[in-house]
Amino acid sequence: MTYSVVGKRLPRIDAPTKATGTAMYAADMSLPGMLTAKILRSPYPHARILRIDASRALKLPGVKAVLTGQDIPRVKYGFTFRFPQFCDEYMLAVDRARYLGEGVAAVAAVDEDTSLEALELIRVDYEELPFVLDPEVAMRRGSPLVHDLAEQNISVHMSHNFGDVQEAFRRADHIREDRFSLQVQAHAPMESHAVLASADPSGKLTLWAAKQSPFRVRYALSRTLELPEGMIRVIRPALGGGFGGKGEMMSLDFCAASLARSTGRPVRIVYSREESLCTTRARHPMIVELKTGVMKDGTLLAQSCRIVSDGGAYMSSGPIATYVAASHLNLPYRLPNYRVDAYRIYTNKQPSGAMRGHGAPQPRFAMECQLDMIAEDLGLDPLELRLRNAIDSGYVAPNGYIVPTSGFKETLHRAALASRWEQRPTQKPNRGMGLAAYTFLCGNSSHLWDTKGAMSSAIVTLQENGTVHLVTGASDIGQGTDTALSQIAAEELGVKLEDVNITAADTELCPLDWGTGGSRVTFQAGNAVRGAAREARRQVLEAAADHLEARPEDLELVDRRVYVKGSPGKGLDLSQAISLAMVQASGAPVIGRGSFNQNAMLPDFGTGMGNMSFAYVFGTQVADVEVDHETGQVYIHKLAVFHDCGFAINPLSVEGQIDGSSIMGAGYALSEELQRRDGTTLNPSLLEYKMPTALDTCEVIGGLVETIDPGGPYGAKEAGEGLMVGSAPAIANAVYQATGVRIKDLPITPEKVLKALEGKNK
């Protein structure tokens, strides 16, 4: 089908303000009388707080307030309040500090220098406690407990069993067992965490916050501050990246709001890069032990998986990360028998939380690397092995995942063709080519949240001049969803993209939306916008039909005109049709409302059964690398990435996601790791934390596979998180081809490569 606006490579609507530097971020904002706040942090990984004396700080000229754990309501925070067992964190430490850098007090003063000076004047008496940093050690009986009620420091345990795994292993021609280790990765968005909070004389709060999910932050603040949600407004200004790290309420949001209420003055908190890297959330480090049984032709029979995840000091979104890690090996291959034991363990470290892929990249790395090892054991081509086991549209996984559409096989074929996979054996020495596949979801259910509202809602108002005002609670965090949602509205209403004005991510002006996370915005918010635009379109066409003496279904709405199909001359301008609709409604505006709340339930965490999403995406990546055997350095020459995105609402944005996600995955594979010793982060800046720079990027050949999913708007699916999942195993498999050594723990640093080569040559 031919469209006018969707499916077109249109520039982002926020590009001019970002390119000219006029976009306003939370850290750029200020209000008259604004105070600057800073947070005092624990110097110990585990310590009892005996006493906090802030008297000297309060006497310092310019200090307006000090907040400690003794001043806050005794309401523990969790990623969702629907499950009280997942709530284990105060926004300032109350009794114990459980990781080095946890906030214990906050100061609001007239400027940053005064706030920092005041922090030095606060005396905190600590009793140091035994701490535990290794998750496998933490599981042993007798290890120090991070939380007294968590036996063996287990915060989450999921045990799922599908089919008859033992019998399948008995029938297998070949069984392989391997252990893989995945490191802690930081989100490291270019914009650090920031918030500006203001309270009016009635006590009502307004926050301008760098957040992916304003409604979830409002909900969490309401619970922890013990305020009605109607007393809190959260607005997302321009946002410079999140990758999952800005999805939750954090200490700075709570402290800024509390201090604004207590002082009656606006309060701004901007985290330093060190605070952002070391005290917020990070990707879950995981140990993955994988046992796989196959027939001699490569057909998968059974898999047994044990996952130990380092959750850090608090729960955060750990249950979701644990479930995704435990369940996502059910796709994209037919795997009839599957067993998993997944543990998330408390340690005295910075909490782990949601990060791009949210539990999927770690076990996928293990499986895709092991599949290559199995292919080598059996003398099979890794591509052939994957094609033999690849699922098709309509597949139902053993755990209940339902796949409406799958372009997986096509991604395998196209990635192999684009990378010249068949020429792999003829590559130069020290060059290698590796392949990996991936899958991800398109959003999940709102049943995580204590709400009866829709997952996404939208309102479309048609102005008399023919322009469109779109209102959505969805949050664009840099991925271009404001543009995609505006394209959907423009397509339905027959206008140009520039005719659509959007108001987004303001909890007071916009309808409910549960934010950016789980790759849900285009699919869920897009459906809501399309529904709202269609409702407004219906009103216009009904009014125009009376005027044109035609039936509404016989009318076209294209290029800002309404006309009879086949007779473009018999029509009227959209602005005229809008005026007619308003007259028919006694002057009421033309407003369309839409929502999305498809019937998908949160799977049973106990059994693992249930369909987590409405659709699933698939893809294949091929990495072409060269390894310097003298230095151990890995150079990526090319990445071929082919992604089943359903229908691309904006191919230009999807290609941008392919580039960004793949390079982020390359950083995960080769260099990124928060290095810690005794709880202290040793590389707390972007100078030492080795993210890829522009000089480290490679050629990315991106390809879109459009399967047209029946549930997505115009057939669209996800194109963001899933793209990152396949990069690391593809690169690791390529490194093996280039060196003959298999590195099973990330990142693949030059030191590890050289050590492995030395061991091989002995």
- Residue 289, pLDDT score: 98
- Residue 601, pLDDT score: 63
Give the C-alpha distances (Å, rounded to integers) separating 612 from 39, 327, 329, 399. 38, 10, 13, 10
Kindly tell me the burial class for residue 19, based on how many C-beta atoms sit within 10 Å of its own C-beta (0-12, 13-18, 19 or more): exposed
Average pLDDT over residues 116-120: 98
Q: Map residue 178 onto helix, strand or coil.
A: strand
* CATH code, domain with 91: 3.90.1170.50
- Residue 445, pLDDT score: 66
- Residue 450, pLDDT score: 62
Task: Enumerate residues 6+ apart whose C-beta is below 8 A from 51.
Answer: 123, 124, 125
| pLDDT value at 180 more than 60 | yes
In a domain, 95, yes or no: yes
Q: Which of 570, 596, 622 is the last residue of a domain?
A: 596
Mean pLDDT of the chain: 95
In a domain, 483, yes or no: yes
One domain for residues 414 and 473 = no
User: What band does 446 get if pLDDT is binned at 50, 70 and 90?
Assistant: low
One domain for residues 427 and 459 = no
Element (H, E) at 574: helix 574-584
For the beta carbon of residue 272, count every other beta carbon within 10 angstroms: 14
Residue 84 is given by DSSP the state G
Strand segments (E) across 324-406: 337-346
Q: What is the Cβ-side half-sphere exposure of residue 240, based on CA atoms within 13 angstroms? A: 17
Q: How far apart are CA 179 and CA 166, in angstroms?
A: 20
One domain for residues 592 and 644 = no
Q: Which of 533, 562, 596 is the last residue of a domain?
A: 596
In a domain, 365, yes or no: yes
Angle between helices 727-739 and 750-761 in degrees, nearest 10? 40
One domain for residues 120 and 254 = yes
One domain for residues 228 and 84 = yes
One domain for residues 63 and 110 = yes
User: What band does 1 get if pLDDT is binned at 50, 70 and 90?
Assistant: confident
| pLDDT value at 81 more than 90 | no
User: What are the pLDDT digits (tens) for 626-648?
Assistant: 999 999 999 999 999 999 999 99
Average pLDDT over residues 475-495: 97
- Residue 427, pLDDT score: 76
Q: How far apart are CA 64 and CA 108, in angstroms?
A: 6
In a domain, 511, yes or no: yes
One domain for residues 225 and 110 = yes
User: What band does 101 get if pLDDT is binned at 50, 70 and 90?
Assistant: very high
User: What band does 760 get if pLDDT is binned at 50, 70 and 90?
Assistant: confident
One domain for residues 618 and 745 = yes
Tokens representing residue 347 in the block = 């340690």
One domain for residues 405 and 505 = no
In a domain, 33, yes or no: yes
In a domain, 674, yes or no: yes
In the chain, the number of structural domains is: 3
Task: Enumerate residues 6+ apart whose C-beta is below 8 A from 461.
Answer: 468, 469, 471, 536, 589, 590, 591, 592
Whether residue 501 contacts residue 469, with contact meaning beta carbons closer than 8 Å, is answered with: yes
**Which amino acid, residue 180?**
F
User: What are the pLDDT digits (tens) for 688-729?
Assistant: 999 999 999 999 999 999 999 999 999 999 998 999 999 999
Give the C-alpha distances (Å, rounded to integers) separating 249 from 236, 551, 695. 13, 51, 34
Task: Look up the domain containing 477 and give its range.
Answer: 454-596
One domain for residues 432 and 501 = no
- Residue 447, pLDDT score: 58
- Residue 452, pLDDT score: 63
One domain for residues 433 and 458 = no
Average pLDDT over residues 167-193: 98
In the chain, the N- to C-terminal Cα span, in Å, equals 62
- Residue 599, pLDDT score: 61
* CATH code, domain with 507: 3.30.365.10
In a domain, 326, yes or no: no
| pLDDT value at 315 more than 60 | yes
Q: Which region among 79-83, 356-360, 717-721 has the lowest average model confidence (pLDDT)?
A: 79-83
In a domain, 307, yes or no: no
One domain for residues 668 and 727 = yes
Q: What does the DSSP assignment read for 160-172?
A: EEES-HHHHHHH-
- Residue 603, pLDDT score: 83
Q: How far apart are CA 362 and CA 283, in angstroms?
A: 10
Q: Which of 529, 562, 596 is the last residue of a domain?
A: 596
Tokens representing residue 198 in the block = 């203001």
| Helical residues (DSSP H) of 30-74, grouped into ranges | 55-59
Average pLDDT over residues 520-541: 97
| pLDDT value at 41 more than 70 | yes
Residue-wise over 594-627: b if at least 16 C-beta within 10 A, else e? bbbbeebebbebeebebbbbbbbbbbbbbbbbbb
Q: Which region among 120-134, 286-300, 438-452, 747-761 has the lowest average model confidence (pLDDT)?
A: 438-452
- Residue 523, pLDDT score: 95
| pLDDT value at 451 more than 70 | no
Residue 619 φ/ψ region, left for φ over 0, alpha for ψ in the -120 to 50 degree band, beta for the rest = beta
User: What band does 492 get if pLDDT is binned at 50, 70 and 90?
Assistant: very high
Give the C-alpha distances (Å, rounded to integers) separating 725 from 364, 439, 663, 716. 7, 8, 11, 19
Element (H, E) at 624: strand 616-627
